Each structure stands twice: as C-alpha cells, then as structure tokens.
Amino acid sequence: MSEDGDFTAFNELALPPPIMEAINDLGFERCTPIQGELLPYSLSDYDVTGQAQTGTGKTAAFLVTILARQLEFPRERPLPPGAARSLVLAPTRELALQIESDAWDLARHMDARVVALVGGIDYARQREQLRDGPIDILVATPGRLLDFCGQRLANLRWVEVLVIDEADRMLDMGFIPDVRRIVYQTPKKRDRQTMFFSATFNDDVMNLAQQWTLDPVHVAIQPESPAVDTVDQRFWALPRDQKRSTLLAFIRKHKPDHTLVFVNRRDLARRLVEYLQRQDVKCEGLAGDIPQRKRLATMQRFKEGATNLVVATDVAGRGIHVEGISHVINYDLPEDAEDYVHRIGRTGRAGASGIAISFVSEDDAWDLPAIEELLGHAIATTSPDV
C-alpha cells in the first residue's frame, strides 16, 4: 500500500509502457491487495507463493510479471517451434482458457504469442499452434501438456517463469504426479522464476511449494470475513422435494438478472436444466459430462448476457469469471465448506452488491456446521421468499 493508506497505483510500479497502456484500456488504476503486495517482489524476480481467494486479481499479477520480464529481457535468439518462455499450469480447462483470455488482454499492445493447451477440444489446432513457432505464454492443463511433450511438440527447456495456479485444486484432482513430471522438464528452480498460488496452504501444499520454489516470498491475503461483505447471504429451510418448485417460483417472482445455480452432481444439473426448460425458463448447464465446445459456448453466452441463468457443478464453475453476477443460488450446499466461499464469491465483485441464497433441506443440514465454523457465526435459516 502507498503512504496515504490507499492501494498501490499501477503507475507506481514502473511497468513497461505497453503493459500500462493495456491496464489503462481495461480501466484499472489501483492494485488489488494481492497485486499490491506481490508485484513489487515478483517484478524483482523473487519466487513467490500467493494465498488468496478466487477473484482477487492473482491472475493479472502473474501475467503482468511475465509480460514485464519478456519486454525488459528480450531473447537474443528466437526459440524453436513449440518452445515456451513461460508456462502457466491450471487444473481445469475453463480456468486455463480464462487465463489465456486475460493474457491476450494484457498483451494487446505487445508482440506476444499466447497458446492454451487444454483437453477435450481443438487437438489438431493446438498441435498446429505448437508447430507454428515459439510461445511467449503457454497456458495448459497437465494431461494435454504431457501429451504434447511426449510427442516432442511442446518444449519446456527454456521456460523462464513457471506459474502453478490453484495448487490445492491440483491436489484434490490427483494431478500432482503429472505436475511433477512437467516441472522436471523445466529448468532447475535456480534457473527460473516460480510463482505458486493456492487458496489454502495445508501441509501437503506447503510441501509442494518448498519443492518447487527457491526462498519464496509468501503473500497471504486473508479477507476480514471468509465471505465477501458485499454479498447478502440467505439460507432457506425447505424439504428436499420442494427445491425445484421453490427455485422456479423464485425465478418467476423476482426475475433475477444474472444468476448462477450450483448443484453437487452433474446428473442433477442435467435434470434441473431440463425441468426449468420445460417450464419455459431459459437456462443452460455447465457440468463435466457436457461436451467442451458446448460448455465454452455456454460460458460465452453467459458473459455476454445472452443466457442469464446457468446451472453448474463446482468443477465446471471454477472457470466462470463473469462480471455482474447478481445471484448465486446453492441448490445443494457444498460438501466442502470452502467451496461455499468460492461459490458465493462469484457475485458481489468489484464493490457491487450480490445475493447468495442457499437451500437447506434435511440432507444439506449436515453441511451447515462446517460452513458456520468457516464464517465464524451461527447460521439462521428462514422460510423461502417466494
């Protein structure tokens, strides 16, 4: 933070002009807390470990660092096709594609090449992108990257900056053996800069950070409350068999603007979308069993406002970074209390207000105590406002 107590302004960081121009285009003036704490170290080539919730700006922090380094230290000789100067690993396709989109936004005034390697789509196109030339920022999910490394189409020998994003989710999804194989193909940690991010830092995550970083600066941004203060949280007590009709009644009565409905299982997501569509409610689904192309099209329509109601599972919803979400509805309470915070953090962003409504049936009640402990207070349930 600056001396007057306000958050650091981007123009105080002596960023290269093309990056500052892009930041100005995007309308950003001051750093978020994690950006203000982390960038002075990452821009000075320190390894960093960052702990922050989703939506706090960590993606822009590591992308600005990567792009600034590449502008300030251009390579004297071009790299071979498929060789990457920087590598960002992400656990899901949706998150990787969001990072790719953010990278293009920040590199709009640079001659930078950004490529995303993700499973489920565009295999031939991604192969051709690797063959077309060297890459400035390579964003990838572990499985697809290892596939192309095995074919010697992707080359990690020249990676200058390695970013491992959402390490806790990587652990949960069983990706760590693959990530370890990838890290071993990059230069040794003394010869690269490493940035390691996780929403939580338990013993397992700390162990990974110690293995892959060198004397890192740790930046932890803990909100005053685990849930965003700008979110109006409501908990509705109702029988399990009344969830569908209650959701429908709420939609018809309140006509919520931009709404994300979370469920715990992908089969339930499919059935709920079918039910709402039969009731003439325009909605779409985001779940792991939906073809990737359809999921990407759904996310784009949701961002543009062509679709205003999406039913999602947690894994599919991780890549949703959409401004202006007015309502998050937990049709099911998540089994992991931290997922509750991730879910409701989709609304109430950038100072805007948001509403989070959680349906609490006899099944969900078992998950309430863990959420209460995380929030630090008891939860009072009320009757549905329909």
- For residues 238 and 360, the answer to whether their CB atoms sit within 8 Å is yes
Burial of 21 (0-12, 13-18, 19+ CB in 10 A): middle
Number of H helices, E strands in the chain: 15, 13
Does 205 lie in the same domain as 353? Answer: no
Phi, psi of 115 (to 5 degrees): -135, 135
Residue 317 placed within a domain: yes
Does 244 lie in the same domain as 186? Answer: no
Q: Say how many domains are in the chain.
A: 2
CATH number, domain with residue 156? 3.40.50.300
Q: Which 8-state DSSP code applies to residue 9?
A: B
Q: Choose the final residue of a domain: 220, 253, 282.
A: 220
Residue 127 placed within a domain: yes
Q: Give all strands (DSSP E) within the chain, no chain letters.
A: 48-51, 86-89, 114-117, 137-140, 161-164, 193-198, 217-220, 231-237, 259-262, 284-286, 309-312, 327-330, 354-360
> Strand 327-330 relative to strand 259-262: parallel, antiparallel, unpaired?
parallel
- Return the pLDDT at 191: 97
Does 241 lie in the same domain as 263? Answer: yes
Domain range enclosing 145: 10-220
- Return the pLDDT at 5: 37
Going residue by residue through the chain, which has 386 residues, state the pLDDT in tens, using 9 for 90 and above. 333 334 588 989 999 999 999 999 988 888 988 999 999 999 999 999 998 766 778 999 999 999 999 999 999 899 999 999 999 999 988 889 989 999 999 999 999 999 999 998 889 999 999 999 999 999 999 999 999 999 999 999 999 999 999 998 898 889 999 999 999 999 999 999 999 998 888 889 999 999 999 999 999 876 545 556 678 999 999 999 999 999 999 999 999 889 999 999 888 999 999 999 999 999 999 887 677 678 778 888 888 888 999 999 876 666 566 777 899 999 999 888 878 887 888 887 655 678 999 999 998 888 899 999 888 889 999 999 88
Residue 148 placed within a domain: yes
Does 156 lie in the same domain as 245? Answer: no
Q: Choose the final residue of a domain: 165, 188, 220.
A: 220
Residue 192 placed within a domain: yes
- For residues 317 and 343, the answer to whether their CB atoms sit within 8 Å is yes
User: For the whole model, what pTM was predicted?
Assistant: 0.69
- Return the pLDDT at 16: 95
- Return the pLDDT at 3: 37
- How far apart (Å, rounded) are the C-alpha atoms in residues 384 and 329? 12
Does 165 lie in the same domain as 82? Answer: yes
What is the four-CA torsion angle of 294, 98, 230, 309, rounded to 10 degrees?
-10
Cα 210 versus chain centre, distance = 23
- How far apart (Å, rounded) are the C-alpha atoms in residues 130 and 197? 26
